[in-house]
Every structure is written in structure tokens, then in C-alpha cells.
Amino acid sequence: MPHVTSSWHFDPQETYVPVSHEGAIVGFCKLNYAKHITHQLNQLERVQKALHQACYELTARTGGSPERVDEMVQRYLDTANRPLAGTAMIAAMLRERQQDLDLNPDEFAKFCDSYRLSIPELRAIYDGDEIESYQLAPLARILGTTIDHVIAAWKGE
């Protein structure tokens, strides 16, 4: 008879440490996860403060209104978000693929050209020009996925 395990179980030997934010406990994690999570959150906080400070200084140097700092911070954060659809989404996927393959821009352009996406066509995609239907098959091969997946990403599905 095969061994059947219960859906629910506990390990009394397992230890969890509290994770707190500004003095309030917000959860419990294993020690190695708690260290990683708190380090990442503290780094995020530092980066957000640095972005705010940079926007404040930029505004002060250009004679802008200090009230517009938060608006500027939000504008920069919005431009840093990954696009959700269209040519910009495909361009982001191509950049990720280049990183995955560990190729410099020239090597990646030649790689794309070998899959029948010419260097001018690649530049046009990066510039935000509309993708043509005949480019979908080469893009799918370059990205290592199906045409349907490329179309879904392009449409934002």
C-alpha cells in the first residue's frame, strides 16, 4: 500500500523569526528568507529616497516648483514600468532575450538577422514602429516561443 501523506502537517522543530516594519510585526518567516526580504525592502526604500532626492535637486536646479517633485517621481516610475502590450512589449521581450543569451547589441542584431529579422527591422521595433505580420514568425523564433505567444504579448493578453 502506498504511503499517503496528509494535506495538513506541521513541524515543531521549524523556527520562524518575526519581520517588523517601523516597530510593528508584519509577519513571520524562516531566518534565511527574513534576511533576504528585509534586505530587499530596505534597498527599495533607499532607492525610493534617492529618486525623490534626485528629482528634488533637478527641480531646484531648473527653477521648478518643489510641489512638482512627487509628480516627477511618479513620471519616472511610470516610464520604468514594463510595457504591457504592443511594439514596446515586444521590444522589452527582445531586450530580455538578448540578456538571456548574453549577447552585446551587435551580436544580438546579427542573431536576429540570422532568423530573418533584419537589423533595420530590429531598430524599427526598438524605435516603436508598428510590427508587421510577416515579422511574427521570425520574432517567435528569436524569442524561443510560439507565434501565438508573441501575438498575445503584442495584444497585451
pLDDT at 80: 79
Q: Rg for the chain (alpha carbons), in Å?
A: 24
Q: Is the pLDDT of residue 78 over 70?
A: yes
pLDDT at 147: 95
Write down the pTM of the prediction.
0.55
Q: Is the pLDDT of residue 148 over 90?
A: yes
Block residue for cell numbers 509577519:
27
pLDDT at 63: 87
Q: Is the pLDDT of residue 52 over 60?
A: yes
pLDDT at 2: 60
Question: pLDDT confidence of 53, banded at 50, 70, 90?
Answer: very high
Q: Is the pLDDT of residue 5 over 90?
A: no
Phi, psi of 70 (to 5 degrees): -60, -35
What are 91-143's pLDDT values in tens digits? 999 999 999 999 999 999 999 999 999 999 999 999 999 999 999 999 999 99
Phi, psi of 26 (to 5 degrees): -110, -10
pLDDT at 43: 94
CA distances from 101 to 88, 94, 97, 98, 139 (A): 20, 10, 6, 5, 15
Q: In whole angstroms, give the CA distance from residue 2 to residue 60.
A: 71
pLDDT at 110: 97
Handedness of CA 118, 120, 125, 130 (dihedral sign): negative
| Grid coordinates given for 133 | 505580420
